Structure 1
Amino acid sequence: MMTDSSDLHVVMLPWSAFGHMIPFYQLAVALANKGVRVSYISTPRNIERLPSIPSKLSSLIEYVSIPLPTVSDSVLLEGAEATVDIQFDEIPYLKVAYDLLYEPVKKFVSSNSPNWLISDIIGYRMSEVAQECHVKFMFFSVYTATTLCFVGPPEYLSGEGREKMRPTPDSLITPPPWGGIFPQSVAFRGYEAAGFHAGAYSMNESGISDGERLAKIIQGCDAVGVRSCREFEGEYMDLFQKLINKPVVPVGLLPPPKVEEKITEETWIENFKWLDQQSPQSVIYVGFGSEYKLTKDEVYGIANGLELAQLPFIWALRKPTWAVDDSEALPEGFLKRTSGKGIVCLGWAPQLKILAHRSIGGSLFHSGWGSIIETLEHGHNLILLPFIIDQGLNARVMVDKGLGIEVERREDGSYSGDDIAYALKQAMLGDEAQKIKAQTRQAAAIFGDQKLHEEQYISGLVEFLRNAARHQ
């Protein structure tokens, strides 16, 4: 019989992408702060790159390192253990290796007898591990409830049901027929739908489509945890629970805590001095993460837009693989022409500390859910330029809620510097910008409410996990 959360042991296995591993880490820390013991499984190189376990939680969280199984004839290079290490078209090969974690994870779960196993959209076989080892299983979604509702219940994710409901990419450019709560604007654009349809519903080298993975994990789980809150999308949580007929538990937004670390790198000391000199809420933070590799045209289009907008900016740009050297990463003369007006940082940037700076007023980024949370936590206006997976849907939701501006694009998904500049000015200057700021300030009261997410939502999650484990 369980008496309190200290008796609760959870094993986690996220998908090998940092947009998944970091939310799982944040969830592990949040649970451990409530006294839950967490075993976080990943591969050696991924664990090396994850944040250190807080010293006060070292007795409650353990990293469990399991080598990524090798696959004969694989295109993956040695040391490639996460999506950031490979090209987009190589990801199915990573899934092949990831699926082979089944046996070592099963051995670990069998030996340690946790109360819950929590896994991700790709880890569909973990439901089999949980069943065989007689433990509860939760699917933790790093995507919004809105996205989960849009893709729909398991019966429409594969087989005849999928062929009936999602026969072609065109079936994704309008809201789904279920629920009746989707705004007409919340759907994929034509240029996004083709890639999403192929990526979600086509068989790949792993032998199973991502849609079928999601169907199996929903069918095999005891509950779905969603990184979100009812204050933001409660109606979609209710709809998804109705669609799948299983408990859907909001775990809160897991907003990152305030960054206390002092900046010691000389370049960033100077960059923050520059930020200190700018007017409050005047600077645009530009960052597109590491998962999607921007093409040369895409990078140059953003650069041209920043130059045309003539607004102060700080751009964290991961050095493109197509650039032979640093000078090729940006249009010729760009740095000279924007000197004093903006800063470009090639490589790592302290994103959370930048977003928390008083001079930041807006952010131009890819519309990933994690970045939306980090940006709205500080009440910044959103300038949205989505590229892959759920980002297009996220962008439409944010615009529908009056939280930002999406960059206009052509039918093929391309955009120009003028398109970027127009969106930046709309989001940062004039009446429209003020309307957006009023909405993002309201959002910040929810997204930045640590007490709401840590006390109400995490406490509620722990209570749910404990009660279910008692009746195991």
Structure 2
Amino acid sequence: MAKELHIVMLPWSAFGHLLPFFQLSVALAKFGVRVSFVSTPKNIERLPNVPSSLASLIALVKLPLPKLPNGDLPDGAEATVDVPFEKVPQLKMAYDLLQRPFQKFVADQSPDWILIDFMAHWVLGFAQESQIPVMYFSIFSSATNVFLGPPEYLTGEGRTSVRPSMESLMSPPPWVNFTSPLALKKHEAIPLFNNFFVSNGTAVSDAERHAKILQNCQAMSVRTCRELEGPYLDLLIELVGKPVIPTGSLPAEKHERAELSGQSPKHIFEWLDEQKPKSVVFVGFGSECKLSKEQIQEIAYGLELSDVPFLWALRRPEWADDEAEVLPVGFGSRTRGRGLVNMGWAPQMEILSHESIGGSLFHTGWGSVNENLGFGHSLVALPMIIEQGLNARLLVDRGLAVEVDRAEDGSFSRDDIAKALRMAMVSEEGEPLRLRARQIAAVFGDIKFQQEHYIGQLVEFMKSYNKSK
């Protein structure tokens, strides 16, 4: 009888990373792979439930987050969502202190593979000593990984005067050998350069972590589909110089509404049930994007001007003392019947899968991109942080999104929002986009194909690698 494959997962402590690692764990377990998913206690508790049929194959391993010597991290903070942006470097320092307990866990388990995120470069040394292969699982697109570049450009080896610099991020990289829209706008390039390429308080910059892992891992996997990113995937394989295996879109399984009744706001689905098929745009910016008052107000006025039915999942921002401060005065009464704003938690996957939803106005985070493409929604891109601008350009280039126009400083107006919404949802000019969205959904929404083709390939690679070793 063949030995069961055992994999240890170590994601970075941000929910845009934890959830894809969890979804990959579930997908692998369906192939009989045993997974130890390692994170901190609070992060583990906030994950979705492991499907009962896979409970024997997925172990959720809690390693307490070590305290910093100077105590410079809020009590109970274990993920980026728990800390203000300026405290993320301290969270990275605490995360780096997981090295010793994680090493002990790996030594006790002796797994067949370790799958790590871009943060944990310190795994590579003891994995090599123990002869355990390491795979870098990137939750970012192939296009983003290509944009960041080969390892020598990230570490300073062979660095040219062209890159990396803040200005260089505002045009496609010189190593992209085909026509590409991959470039950041100035308001996007400044924070990415300062937070990725420059050491931001920790001993090792994110760029150096990423480069060390690319140089020393045995293989890389990327959450993507060849049908969307074929040229970028091929170029990434060339730049990295080692196997790069796409995992597919990792579609999450949708819960039936009956399963949600105890926790879900019923009024959301009651309202959606009354709307016409494919008529409603879902508006959601997740938990990591902190929108300013001006941004929220312009989005609200844009929704109002567009005349498009909308459902907005909106968390009360930290700057608002109560919910009445968040939206423009009279907004609710002026849009009553046509729009619904839900303050607080909302089951995004179940909303996106509802037949009344036809589009999304969102930040183009890669996880949300994959979810939306699976349902064939028209996409209105309003990128906010990190690499989201690159995702927006990729989607527009592939005929799958309209990007909201912005000023040089990154600001946008209600008219920009309304124009993009009408284009994506109702105008005749936007019909090719809606058609393309339906076509790509045949790939991204096919759970059986995603599982058997992409995850099957990944499992086969890991098994055959171990045999050859």
Would you call these one fold, judging by a TM-score over 0.5?
yes
Contact kept, 8 Å, 1:158 with 1:201, in 2: the verdict is: no
Please give the residue correspondences for 1:62-81 in structure 2 after superposition, counting only pairs within 5 Å. Answer: 62-81=59-78
User: Residue 135 of structure 1 corresponds to which residue in structure 2?
Assistant: 132
Does structure 1 residue 275 correspond to structure 2 residue 269? no
1:411 Cα deviation from its structure 2 partner: 0.3
Structure 1 window deviating more from structure 2 (163-172 vs 326-335): it is 163-172
Contact kept, 8 Å, 1:74 with 1:93, in 2: the verdict is: no
User: Residue 227 of structure 1 corresponds to which residue in structure 2?
Assistant: 223
User: Residue 242 of structure 2 corresponds to which residue in structure 1?
Assistant: 246
1:259 Cα deviation from its structure 2 partner: 2.3
Contact kept, 8 Å, 2:381 with 2:401, in 1: the verdict is: yes
User: Residue 188 of structure 2 corresponds to which residue in structure 1?
Assistant: 192
Structure 1 window deviating more from structure 2 (380-389 vs 266-275): it is 266-275
The structure 1 residue matched to 2:33, chosen from 15, 32, 36, is 36
Question: 4+ runs of 1 displaced by more than 6 Å?
Answer: none
Q: Take 1:160 and 1:24, find their aligned partners in 2: how far apart are those partners?
A: 31
Distance 1:113 1:267, change over 3 A: closer
Please give the residue correspondences for 1:206-355 in structure 2 after superposition, counting only pairs within 5 Å. Answer: 206-262=202-258, 263-264=260-261, 268-355=265-352
User: Residue 466 of structure 2 corresponds to which residue in structure 1?
Assistant: 469
Does structure 1 residue 450 correspond to structure 2 residue 447? yes
1:163 Cα deviation from its structure 2 partner: 5.9
Q: Take 2:164 and 2:401, find their aligned partners in 1: how far apart are those partners?
A: 32
Q: Secondary structure at the match of 2:161?
A: helix
1:130 Cα deviation from its structure 2 partner: 1.3
Contact kept, 8 Å, 2:153 with 2:164, in 1: the verdict is: no
Q: Take 1:405 and 1:346, find their aligned partners in 2: how far apart are those partners?
A: 26
Does structure 1 residue 371 correspond to structure 2 residue 368? yes
Does structure 1 residue 88 correspond to structure 2 residue 85? yes
Structure 1 window deviating more from structure 2 (90-99 vs 255-264): it is 255-264
Q: Deviations over 1:406-452 (max 9, x none)?
A: 00000000011111111111111222221111100111011101122
TM-score (norm 1): 0.96
User: Residue 357 of structure 2 corresponds to which residue in structure 1?
Assistant: 360
1:160 Cα deviation from its structure 2 partner: 5.1
1:274 Cα deviation from its structure 2 partner: 1.4
Contact kept, 8 Å, 1:102 with 1:129, in 2: the verdict is: no
| Pairwise CA RMSD | 1.4
Stretches of structure 1 that go unaligned for 5 or more consecutive residues are none
Does structure 1 residue 404 correspond to structure 2 residue 401? yes
User: Residue 412 of structure 2 corresponds to which residue in structure 1?
Assistant: 415
Contact kept, 8 Å, 1:106 with 1:133, in 2: the verdict is: no
Q: Deviations over 1:329-351 (max 9, x none)?
A: 21222112211111111111011
1:121 Cα deviation from its structure 2 partner: 0.7
Which residue identity does 1:190 align to in structure 2? Answer: K
Contact kept, 8 Å, 1:11 with 1:116, in 2: the verdict is: yes
Distance 1:202 1:74, change over 3 A: farther
Stretches of structure 2 that go unaligned for 5 or more consecutive residues are none
The alignment covers a number of residue pairs equal to 468
Which residue identity does 1:47 align to in structure 2? Answer: I
Contact kept, 8 Å, 1:293 with 1:320, in 2: the verdict is: yes
Identity fraction in percent: 52
Which residue identity does 2:220 align to in structure 1? Answer: V
Does structure 1 residue 51 correspond to structure 2 residue 48? yes
Distance 1:340 1:265, change over 3 A: farther
1:267 Cα deviation from its structure 2 partner: 7.3
Q: Take 1:396 and 1:167, find their aligned partners in 2: how far apart are those partners?
A: 20
Q: Deviations over 1:302-347 (max 9, x none)?
A: 1111111121100001110111011112122211221111111111
Which residue identity does 1:257 align to in structure 2? Answer: E
1:147 Cα deviation from its structure 2 partner: 0.8
1:132 Cα deviation from its structure 2 partner: 2.5
Distance 1:22 1:267, change over 3 A: closer
User: Residue 146 of structure 1 corresponds to which residue in structure 2?
Assistant: 143
Q: Deviations over 1:226-251 (max 9, x none)?
A: 11121221221111111111110111
User: Residue 153 of structure 2 corresponds to which residue in structure 1?
Assistant: 156
1:186 Cα deviation from its structure 2 partner: 2.3
Q: Secondary structure at the match of 2:115?
A: strand
Q: Secondary structure at the match of 1:389?
A: coil
1:46 Cα deviation from its structure 2 partner: 0.3
Contact kept, 8 Å, 2:143 with 2:182, in 1: the verdict is: no
Contact kept, 8 Å, 2:112 with 2:133, in 1: the verdict is: yes
